[in-house]
Amino acid sequence: LVDSFRSAGLPARLELSGRVPGSPGVQLTIYRVVQESLTNALRYASQPSIVSVRLSSSPGRVEVVIDDDGHARAPQPSVGGRRGIIGLGERVALYGGTLEAGPIRGGGWRVRATMSLDEGQASA
């Protein structure tokens, strides 16, 4: 997924820490969070020099953070009206998690999702 956005011209990088969760539902939720975040960075960030995707897991918890250092373009109509972010928040909540999305001080945008994992979801 990250490679495909890199091929589209987005300066994206992936950092992994810990083990990928074993639950297909959690994996799909992580995929959708990253997909929506990278799509939004490609669509709305102005000249980002880096878009980082960080996935870290520890016993009982997984976190995915997507940051870009681009500056928001001049106000323009949103293509989706934030429904994508709302839907992601609902998906993450199914796994006892939270989703935060918003501007970063100094410019850029961050999406951060955290989810709780039980023993069966944590190992892969």
Is residue 112 domain-resident?
yes
Which pair of tokens denotes residue 91?
A: 């998906």
Going by pLDDT thresholds of 50, 70 and 90, the confidence category of residue 80 is low
pTM: 0.86
Is residue 122 domain-resident?
no
Is residue 124 domain-resident?
no
The parent domain of residue 59 ranges over 2-117
Which pair of tokens denotes residue 70?
A: 């681009």
105: domain CATH number is 3.30.565.10
CB atoms within 10 A of CB 89: 17
* pLDDT tens sequence across 9-54: 999 999 999 998 999 999 999 999 999 999 999 998 888 999 999 9
Structural domain total, the chain = 1
Is residue 17 domain-resident?
yes
* pLDDT tens sequence across 54-72: 999 999 999 999 999 987 6
Is residue 113 domain-resident?
yes
Q: How far apart are CA 93 and CA 81, in angstroms?
A: 20
